[in-house]
Chains A and B, each alone.
Chain A
Amino acid sequence: MSKQINVALIGNPNTGKTSVFNALTGLNQKVGNYPGITVEKKEGICKLPRGVKAHIIDLPGTYSLNASSLDENVVIELLLNKNDKDFPDIAVVVSDVENLKRNLLLFTQIKDLEIPTLLVINMSDRMLYKGISLDIAYLEEHLQTKIALISTRKNEGIDHLKNLISNFKDMSVVPCLSASEIDQDYFDSLRKAFPNQLLYKLWLVITQDVNFGKTDRNQIEAVANFKTKSKGDLKRLQQKETIKRYQFINNVLKKGQTIDVSQAKDLRSKLDRILTHKVWGYAIFFVVLLTIFQAIYDWSSVPMDFIDTVFASLSEWAKNMLPGGAFTNLLAEGIIPGLGGIVIFIPQIAFLFLFIAVLEESGYMSRVVFLMDRVMRRFGLSGKSVVPLISGTACAIPAIMATRNIESWKERLITILVTPFTTCSARLPVYLIIISLVIPEGRFLGLGYQALTLMLLYLIGFGTAVVSAYILNKILKIKSKTFFVVEMPNYKLPMFKNVALTVIEKTKSFIFGAGKIILAISIVLWFLASYGPGDKFDNAEAIVKSEYRTQHLSKEELQQKIASHKLEHSFIGITGRAIEPAIRPLGYDWKIGIALISSFAAREVFVGTLATIYSVGSDEEETIKNRMAGEVNHILGGPLFTFASGISLLLFYAFAMQCMSTLAIVKRETNSWKWPVLQLVIMTVFAYIVALIAFQFLK
């Protein structure tokens, strides 16, 4: 049996830590440029030389072991607990060649925990452009470690890194800084009180506020022969520690690193001046958004039409070729149309994430964060709130989890509460199908009306989030201070592998995450639409025949009437009818009502539900869009999906909290039911009112 060792990947944000993780494990992992993207722990397996396997943990990015946010705590919790199953045999600190000095602060802290610590200097390909040269042998000697100089972009140095990891037992665990240097008397008394403990570890336990809580410090303080210091004194000692560390780092880098600025070829500052300009910056961002939404429509229309036709044919084939009966009907009318309703959106979702990944990879997204901070400040949010709001375009769940790196509780809570307004990918299928039904295909200044409507919906979502944040900032009486630090990574050409992995991972999670729910709901809905209580359902055929006895209906027309009667008196029909009075003023019928209820499980279920409901009883080979376009409003007459009802639906979905999973995550992150319940009630009421006004005004 081969040996397995634990390897912790640690580093400052934007050092390419996740790219190193990808290079070592080949696992799918999102790589981003804006700070705090890695909130959760990521794991993978890497094969090392001599049959050794490494269990690699990609820890959240942190600047030091002095944690200021929840995600940074993860790093300290792991490094201080030897009993943790993931406690590393070796810590691999990933640094970036351009910010070595700052990165070494974290390195020296980890090394002082007497864990074998390997230094990886990434982005070596940038050395030439920046005029940087390194004396690796000198650095290894004075930092008492092994160094891997690598470039994940050019796939250089990865084998050397694997070799160094596999030889972790030969690495020195001598600390860089003796803890006593911080304050001789204090650490002497600490050593006397806890003779068997590592001093630096004790120091971290004493000085960390969030991780280990007061109880833990109390345990130390309760020891009779140890007199601790006041909070202010501890802070001063922490500052002294940082100064000592930087003195050590400066001394090492003085000889180990040379930077010849005259050799640097810097395009970055020129680009930054334009992209973060107070006028041009916003104008460029707006043009980028326009281009993205136009491309989403133009590029995906052909594959979408193809998928739609394939599923319609598949459904027809199942009906004709399989033996007739309930299960065949379930396949042809429930499962296939339900799945078709989700697969059809793969091209658009893939293109959206392609663009987002390219923006992140290129370094532009961090400029957007910086740019938007100016706006966000006015609404009581921090620039860091932009990260969840932008991540929210994918899904509100990871976006809400990404708020963990916001230090101020008030700003974090507001961000959590407003993030669900951002247009997530689950809203996209709903928007796309409704837009294609009610918005004409014409163009304005070369831009399609449909693409413009989609972009407008994204802006409405973002705008509502910001305005709600402003209101919440005024209402919520929570005192807190915050600061905004954002790191601007270098501009770079996006790595194909990282972009491809992001697109594949996001599309996969959309299909398999939402797909399973949609499949299950499609089965349940088909069942509820195909069975019903009482005589009206059981004797549908006889009732319809006697009702239309005098009219000479064709066989197809009669079958259609029977199917329609059955659907109306099925379980789903009865439920839909019950809620119809509440949604009729919005321009919806009971079928849309059913879709609204079922899409509470996941918004994208809306399209699958309608596809299933409209398929039941339909014998014709038709696409989802055609079936929806052919639906008649049985109260007002005319098509069900008109401009008025379509806009009403779009606005309802833009504002309503139609997501069970998001509510669950809000409960988890706020540790209370109060906030998710408030969020649900307020968002739903607001959505209802706006949709009502829109329909009544436009009809």
Chain B
Amino acid sequence: MNTIIQNILVFTAMAFAISFLVKKFFWKKSKAKKACGGDDGCGCH
């Protein structure tokens, strides 16, 4: 029982670690909204 729980914990930790690294280095972040975003007639659109 102890072995199964320990293995589950190891594989869970591994899954978290890999998903964190993938998210950190390979996930494409959505572009931030441009500061000048709207048309108030400022002439910059």
Contacts and interface: CB of A to CB of B under 8 A. Distances in A.
A521 B21 contact: yes
Interface string B14-27: 10111011001100
A205 B35 contact: no
Given A327-B9, A601-B25, A86 B35 contact: yes
Interface string A183-206: 000000000000011000110010
A202 B43 contact: yes
Contacts of A660: 25
Contacts of B6: 323, 325-328
Contacts of A327: 5-7, 9-10, 13
A84 B36 contact: yes
Secondary structure of the A side of the interface? Answer: helix
B30 interface: no
Interface residues of A, number: 35
A212 interface: yes
A196 B14 CA distance: 61
Given A326-B7, A330-B10, A660-B25, A81 B18 contact: no
B36 A523 contact: no
B37 A83 contact: yes
Contact of B35 (A81, A196, A520): A81
Given A80-B36, A327-B6, A601-B25, A523 B42 contact: no
A81 B21 contact: no
Nearest to B15: A523
Contacts of B5: 325, 327
B8 to A, nearest CB: 8
Interface string A489-533: 000000000000000000000000000110111011001000000
A521 B35 contact: no
A77 B36 contact: yes
B21 A216 contact: no
A219 interface: yes
B27 to A, nearest CB: 12
Contact of A212 (B2, B10, B44): B44
B2 to A, nearest CB: 6
Contacts of B16: 520, 523
Given A78-B35, A520-B21, A330 B13 contact: yes
Interface of B: 2-3, 5-7, 9-10, 13-14, 16-18, 20-21, 24-25, 35-45
22 contacts: A77-B35, A81-B37, A81-B44, A83-B39, A197-B43, A201-B43, A205-B43, A212-B44, A216-B45, A325-B3, A325-B6, A326-B3, A326-B6, A326-B10, A327-B6, A327-B13, A330-B13, A517-B21, A517-B24, A520-B17, A523-B16, A601-B25
Pairs A-B, 4 closest by C-beta atoms: A83-B38, A325-B6, A523-B17, A327-B6
